[in-house]
Chain A
Amino acid sequence: MRKRSVLPGFGLTLGITVCYVSLVVLLPVSAMVARSTSGGLSGFWAAALSPRALASYRLTLTASLVAASVNAVFGLIVAWVLARYRFPLRRVADALVDLPFALPTAVAGIALTTLYAPTGWIGKPLAAIGIKVAYTPIGITVALTFIGLPFVVRTLQPVIGALDADVEEAAASLGARPWQTFLRVVAPAIIPAWLTGFTLAFARALGEYGSVVFIAGNMPMRTEIAPLLVMTRLEQYDYSGATAIAVLMLGASFVMLLAVNGLQSWSARRSA
């Protein structure tokens, strides 16, 4: 029942895709799942749902969500400015956006900690008005915001750059004020890319470890993120405990990414 398609190579490319994804993604994940239940199901749940683990999930999720949301707002503005306007040093600003990609995360963590510590450039004035950033959940959010920015900017920038100017001119000539043009004409066109950027930033934040551990303080129950808890368990040779937490995180992330992807394709269909 094979139909000839104009685009050749379906069988071959699908085969490669399945093999590659299995080898690179599915195999390690299944090994992890297998390892996590080596202590029996009750051991799995005990490790995965211990109060300390639950606290770390809550922290990781909220900090990642807040960071991704902050990036969604400011990343949109940055992408808009970079795509729309020509100004001196635009290329420099453009390159700066990629820095969180390129920087070793530990370096970023140390830099942020130095800045936000109670003796740092930003931490000192903030401490004076009673706001503590380093070694608190706020500090974790700052680090996650830092590493997530490029994802939002880089997904939105080409889409904003490709918007037709005449569509906005049409809206304006029909009497729409700038905010109406943005909400009714521009926003529907960029929402799919925006959601993608948000998802990527969020996913990256969930798994981020290197830049957070320095600024977090890592106090169990208060400023300990889930990836760090996994590391701690590993250092204690509690492999099944570590993998149990990892599996739960993985499952939760996967469900959330799936949901956002669904939302995104729904909005892409609407604005097609």
Chain B
Amino acid sequence: MSESVVDFDVIAKILQKHKNDPSKIIPILQDVQKEFRYLPKDALLYIATTLNIPPSKVYGVATFFSHFTLEPKGKNIIKICDGTACHVKKSGDIIKALKKRFLLKDKKVTSDDGFITVETVSCLGACGLAPVIVLNDEVHGDMTLDKVMKLMDDLEA
């Protein structure tokens, strides 16, 4: 995949907001990811250089936390909660069905055409509505396979 052009001015502003403080690396990466929807490699290098810390450290933090992603995400993002409550209400079947539908496997979470990213999250804290999915930031509760597939049909239409 070709590296997208990164606007360093944007990152510089984020770094200034956090006073170029290396202990604020997590909030910095969060802000950068909010901006680009993922963490471009060039951005990580730029941050390391500016803060005068080894790139390995920035990379280490970026890869430790599951919230950060080094790959661009799809146009649509669907998060399926697989917390305990959702799990016992069969969220696993929803995950399997979605992966099958969009031809995804194990670590591959974004479809080839960039249409969708299918993520599982450990708990969204909306256990009362289990099983829960979040489609593009909108929470849908009490899901069934039927309802999910209908949502996907609408999304693709």
Physical interaction between A and B: no
